Amino acid sequence: MGILKKELVLSNKDAVNDDGEENPEVDISESESESEDEDVKLTERSKTSIYNRDGLLDKLGDISWPKDVDWRHKLSLDINQEQEVDVNDDLARELAFYTQALEGTRQAFVKFQSMQLPFLRPSDYYAEMVKTDSHMVKVKGRLLAEKRKIEEAEERRKARESKKIAKEVQAQKLKERAKQKKEEIESVKKWRKQRQRNGFEKDDQMGLTFEDGKTFEKSTKKRPGVGPADRSGGKANRVGWKGKKGGAGGKKGRDFKDSKFGFGGRKGMKKQNTAETTNDIKSFNKSNLSENKKRKR
């Protein structure tokens, strides 16, 4: 195998051919190297090529239609493409084609309108189309699927962000609560110290805000649930309580567990009955006492 010569042949723009004219845009040029030495991507390459201008124009005259043919036969339009379009930039290229077509149709429609010819399809004109109905159904399906994908992605993103925000808000709330607690304790301590300092006199004359005993009442806004020592089973076993039995419907959240078991979760699963619950027979359904429970209902 020979050595691969990689010469870049630059085109020189001298005229060569039969016609002797030069045209800088077209590819008439003389090569300096033999035709075998080629570069891989031949963008700048040129070689001796035939360009029979007169012959081309002759043939053009042969085949072209008479000049005075009505435009309606030709239906051709020439659109000026202002900028040079880079071939490799797909979007720009397609945009250029699109604008060319748009311009062309505008001009054509203006002409048609002036000729007062019908050129737009009426809505009740049914005829065979170039793509079948079944194909168009597929196209529609695909478009809808794409739309749905985009929407789902949007929703997922929103859900993620809102979760993030919710977490932050929750963290904030917890911090605040902790702070409040601390403050309250601090204030009690301060009060005690002050009292100590003042020698335990004037007990009734201290108009301190926390003295009305309300600090030991927690805010009733929070869960009206169960105290720590309450073993009655909380909300869940209340008579007539529907909808939350066994955590139905995914409501096994913190709130529910707290109310059912008190803070800290299930404490000692072993014995749960209290005096009241042992004697509580309201949850037994009298009607199905005598029935066959094994029969599928």
Partner 1 sequence: MGKKRKHSEAEVTAPVKKDEGAPQRPKRTLLGWKDKVEEKESDSTAFRNKEKVLVTCSRRINYRYRHLMMNVVSLLPHCKKDNKVESKESKGATLNELVELKGCSSCLFFECRKQKDLYLWMAKCPNGPSVKFLVNAVHTMEELKLTGNHLQGSRPLLTFSTNFDKDPHWKLLKEMIMQIFGTPKDQRKSKPYHDHVFVFSIVDDHIWFRNYQISVPHNEADKVDRGGLDKMTLVEVGPRFCLNPIKIFGGSFGGQTLYENPFYVSPNQIRALEKKQKAGKYAKKVKAKKRRKMHEISNPMEPDEFADMWKE
Query: What minimum distance in Å lies between the beta carbon of 15 and partner 1?
Result: 14
Measured distance CA(85)–CA(103) in Å, rounded = 17
Number of Cβ atoms within 10 Å of the Cβ of 228: 9
Give residue 202's identity as a one-letter amino acid code.
Answer: K
State yes or no: residue 38 binds partner 1 (CB under 8 A): yes
Burial of 62 (0-12, 13-18, 19+ CB in 10 A): exposed
State yes or no: residue 20 binds partner 1 (CB under 8 A): no
State yes or no: residue 229 binds partner 1 (CB under 8 A): no
Number of Cβ atoms within 10 Å of the Cβ of 257: 19
Measured distance CA(15)–CA(10) in Å, rounded = 15
Query: Which CB sits closer to partner 1, 94 or 161?
Result: 94
Residues 146-175 that bind partner 1 (CB under 8 A): none
Nearest to 81, CA basis, from 102, 62, 97: 97
Query: Which CB sits closer to partner 1, 56 or 169?
Result: 56
Instruction: Tell which one of 10, 15, 143, 166 touches partner 1 (CB under 8 A).
Output: 143
Distances (CA, A) of 66 to 63, 69, 73: 9, 6, 11
Query: Which CB sits closer to partner 1, 55 or 247?
Result: 55
H or E, element range at 177: helix 133-197
State yes or no: residue 126 binds partner 1 (CB under 8 A): yes
State yes or no: residue 206 binds partner 1 (CB under 8 A): no
State yes or no: residue 65 binds partner 1 (CB under 8 A): yes
Query: Which CB sits closer to partner 1, 53 or 195?
Result: 53
State yes or no: residue 79 binds partner 1 (CB under 8 A): yes
Map tokens 């309201």 to a residue: 282
How far is CA 208 from its chain centroid? 57
Measured distance CA(46)–CA(31) in Å, rounded = 6
State yes or no: residue 128 binds partner 1 (CB under 8 A): yes
Distances (CA, A) of 178 to 33, 164, 171, 265: 86, 21, 11, 21
Map tokens 């020698």 to a residue: 199
State yes or no: residue 122 binds partner 1 (CB under 8 A): yes
Query: What minimum distance in Å lies between the beta carbon of 102 and partner 1?
Result: 6
Residue 85 in contact with residue 96, Cβ under 8 Å? Answer: yes
Instruction: Tell which one of 13, 53, 231, 235 touches partner 1 (CB under 8 A).
Output: 53
Choose one: 58-66, 164-172, 256-264, 266-274; the region binding partner 1 (CB under 8 A). 58-66
Query: What minimum distance in Å lies between the beta carbon of 4 and partner 1?
Result: 6
Query: What minimum distance in Å lies between the beta carbon of 32 and partner 1?
Result: 14
Measured distance CA(62)–CA(81) in Å, rounded = 29
Choose one: 62-70, 186-194, 200-208, 276-284; the region binding partner 1 (CB under 8 A). 62-70
Query: What minimum distance in Å lies between the beta carbon of 24 and partner 1?
Result: 11
State yes or no: residue 16 binds partner 1 (CB under 8 A): no
State yes or no: residue 14 binds partner 1 (CB under 8 A): no
